[in-house]
Amino acid sequence: MYIPVFSVRFNQNKNMRVKFILFDFYSFIDDNQTEIIKQVIKQKYFNSYLIYYKRTILMIKKAKRNDVNTALLICDMLNDFVKKEAPLEVPAARDIVPGIKKQIQLARKSCIPVIYCCDAHKSNDPEFSLWPRHAVKGTEGACIVKQLEPEKDDYIVHKTNYSCFYKTSLQTLLKQLGTTHLILTGVVTNICILYTVAEAYMRGYTTTIPGDCVAALTQKDHKYALQQMKRVFNAKIL
């Protein structure tokens, strides 16, 4: 009985499909109904759309189970930051891998979306006038470390600056997921984490930082940033 509603609204305004589907199915969708919707999409729409719609359905399922509207962000856990003798090595980044792994497991259990925010620089990126050349898009150095490899339901957002929001798709994705709260993990505490928390605060998100899941080049920087995030951006530090 729900399918015709889905189809009609869908045809009325394709640009609003996510909102309509969310509106129609948010409260009563279950796995069985998800399967039916998938079949309808397969029959009616081109293959090129299919992946997107599957993802949408997934988001609806997540939205229903994820009552607190939280997303887990994993920032720059890339070879060029984490590996020994990497160009922008943060030695302490290797110590936070187990903690992040735990957060990922917890998130997956609770249907919290896992979003990897990753540097993906151009080969002549302006950032390289300040920092050593790192995480150039398409190189091994820009890949997420093996121990934290994403799964197919996870999301990847590419960035070219400190804040994960700056000129990226993060805000759009969070809106689609219905996210209002972010758990931030990764590197570097006083750079990408701090500026992402700052921008999250200004955009109306609340944030939590598990202290054993972020790292900086020095303890001093790390402590300063945690304090700053707590005092200035009301972040919850665990």
Q: Which residues contact Zn ion by CB under 5 A?
A: 119, 127
d(CA 105, CA 77) in angstroms, rounded, equals 16
> Helices in the chain by DSSP H: which ranges?
3-12, 17-25, 31-44, 47-65, 79-82, 97-109, 170-177, 194-202, 219-233
Nearest approach, Cβ of 196 to Zn ion (angstroms)?
Answer: 13
CA 69: distance to chain centroid? 13
Nearest approach, Cβ of 87 to Zn ion (angstroms)?
Answer: 10
Nearest approach, Cβ of 70 to Zn ion (angstroms)?
Answer: 26
Residue 135: closest CA among 184, 194, 95, 86: 86
25 φ/ψ sector (left φ>0, alpha ψ -120 to 50, else beta): alpha
Q: Which is nearer to Zn ion, 162 or 233 (CB)?
A: 162
Nearest approach, Cβ of 150 to Zn ion (angstroms)?
Answer: 19
Nearest approach, Cβ of 232 to Zn ion (angstroms)?
Answer: 23
Q: Which is nearer to Zn ion, 82 or 112 (CB)?
A: 82
d(CA 186, CA 189) in angstroms, rounded, equals 8
Q: Which is nearer to Zn ion, 53 or 195 (CB)?
A: 195
Q: Which is nearer to Zn ion, 119 or 199 (CB)?
A: 119
Q: Which is nearer to Zn ion, 87 or 211 (CB)?
A: 87
3-class secondary structure, 172: helix
3-class secondary structure, 117: strand
CA 129: distance to chain centroid? 28
Q: Which is nearer to Zn ion, 37 or 135 (CB)?
A: 135
Q: Which is nearer to Zn ion, 24 or 127 (CB)?
A: 127
Nearest approach, Cβ of 167 to Zn ion (angstroms)?
Answer: 13
Tokens of 209: 């930082």
Residue nearest to Zn ion (CB): 119
CA 149: distance to chain centroid? 13
Residue 214: closest CA among 182, 180, 237, 181: 237
Nearest approach, Cβ of 81 to Zn ion (angstroms)?
Answer: 9
